[in-house]
Amino acid sequence: MPVYIYEAIDVEGKLVKGSIEAENQRVVLNKLREMRYTVKNITERTTPAMHLDVLAFLDRFKGVNLQSITIFSRQFATMINAGLSMVRCLDILSQQTEDKVLQETLISVRKDVEGGATLSNALSKFPNIFSTLYVSMVKAGEMGGVLDTVLNRLSNFLEADFKLRKRVKSALTYPMLILIMAIAIVIFLVTYILPTFVQMFEGMDLPLPLPTKILILFTKAATNPAIVVPVIILLVLLGVALVQYIKTPTGRKQFDTLKLQLPVFGLLNKKVAVSRFCRTLGTLLASGVPLLQALEITGKASGNEIVAETVSKIRESIREGESIAAPMGMSGLFPPMVSHMVAVGEETGNLDQMLAKVADFYDTEVEYFLESLTSMLEPLLMLGMGAVVGFIVISVFMPMYGIITSIK
């Protein structure tokens, strides 16, 4: 069945692009009109036949990215709000999504819903795509009859989370590129340029300065397969062992503790953790999820064992009759400003709104922190790169300078 690419304007006036698998363009046009889209363009997508099997095979190893889930949630909310049945919505969304994994998932979800299952139960069968947070909020929306509102809140939450992750990645990309370039330059010098100078220096009957001796020793080691191969194998084995250890409960806890205690980066990780905690908990409370259940979901969705353990202690304190602000203040993870604002939110009955404000504040804090961190890392990396290259240059030219001086 052919696939058609479309461009349309939704009910909010935004440009929407996607694809739908259908018999012909008329069927596509009817489906888009049912979604209350104003169609701008429809074209058939052609894929070479010999590539179909390869693409289908590769799709099995793909996950569903956060952006695809966000778009799906936003479109689902719009269609539910427009009065379309849930089965019809899932049918249309499964046909128009370009993500093959998400498409197969939605087809399965639609079949379960047609068979009488609730949407939350159908989504819970795919924990790698729809998180516990997502399923719990959908369940709360079903129970309260406000599924479209909850899906919109989910979309806003996922968009904010996606932007936060993108900021962190983009801010650290340039320093990492500089570091990789520096390592590549050093490897090139050591393996291709320096061996020539090493042979020349060893053929001279002259006392060599200490930097040159160190450089010769390092160059010989770096170009000797009997040393390089065992070192690489050892590093790979250590890396695999470390990854396996981190997967254990003890290793995971120690690794997460280290992430929060690292110099400079520990503060960044803590700010990101506080922002995600506040936004997740605020979104769940606004969707009608009970506080204790919302805290349990927030702890699981934090991605950090230390945060999850702290949230578990907060839940135990609340069961004993305390407010949420008191155990947060005593945990040591949350700054005093956060616990004070949470206390105000509890007193005024606007805890979800206060948590959203705290999350927005810490998102801004993370952005400023990343800017300052990037501006600090770039000159430090350049300085380190210059120091390494400078050491190599000095080590090479010191013996040469000695030779010239002796000739004079």
Helices (H), 248-304: 249-261, 265-286, 291-301
Distance CA 2, CA 23 (A): 7
With a cut of 90, say whether residue 210 has pLDDT above it: no
The per-residue pLDDT for 69 is 85
The per-residue pLDDT for 121 is 87
Question: Phi, psi at residue 220, to the nearest 5°?
Answer: -65, -40
pLDDT digit string (tens) for 270-297? Answer: 888 888 888 888 888 887 888 888 888 8
Could you give the angle at the alpha carbon of 239 between the alpha carbons of 236 and 240, nearest 5°?
Answer: 90
With a cut of 60, say whether residue 190 has pLDDT above it: yes
Cβ contacts of 154 within 8 Å, gap of 6 or more:
73, 134, 137, 138, 283
Residues in the chain: 408
Rounded mean pLDDT, 93-113: 85
The per-residue pLDDT for 240 is 92
Confidence of residue 205 (pLDDT cuts 50, 70, 90): low
pLDDT digit string (tens) for 369-384? Answer: 888 877 787 788 888 8
Q: What is the overall mean pLDDT for the chain?
A: 80
Distances from the Cα of 51 to the Cα of 19, 47, 186, 241, 327, angstroms: 18, 7, 41, 38, 57
Distance CA 268, CA 175 (A): 16
Rounded mean pLDDT, 223-238: 88
With a cut of 90, say whether residue 39 has pLDDT above it: no
Q: Which CATH number fits domain 1-46: 1.20.120, 3.30.450, 1.10.3110, 3.10.20?
A: 3.10.20
Q: Which CATH number fits domain 166-408: 2.60.40.640, 3.40.50.2300, 2.30.30.40, 1.20.81.30?
A: 1.20.81.30
Q: Work out the angle between the directed axes of helices 66-81 and 100-114 (0-180°, nearest 10).
A: 40
Distance CA 153, CA 45 (A): 33
Confidence of residue 59 (pLDDT cuts 50, 70, 90): very low
Distance CA 49, CA 23 (A): 18
Domain spans of the chain, in order of start: 1-46, 166-408
Structure tokens at 307: 């945060």
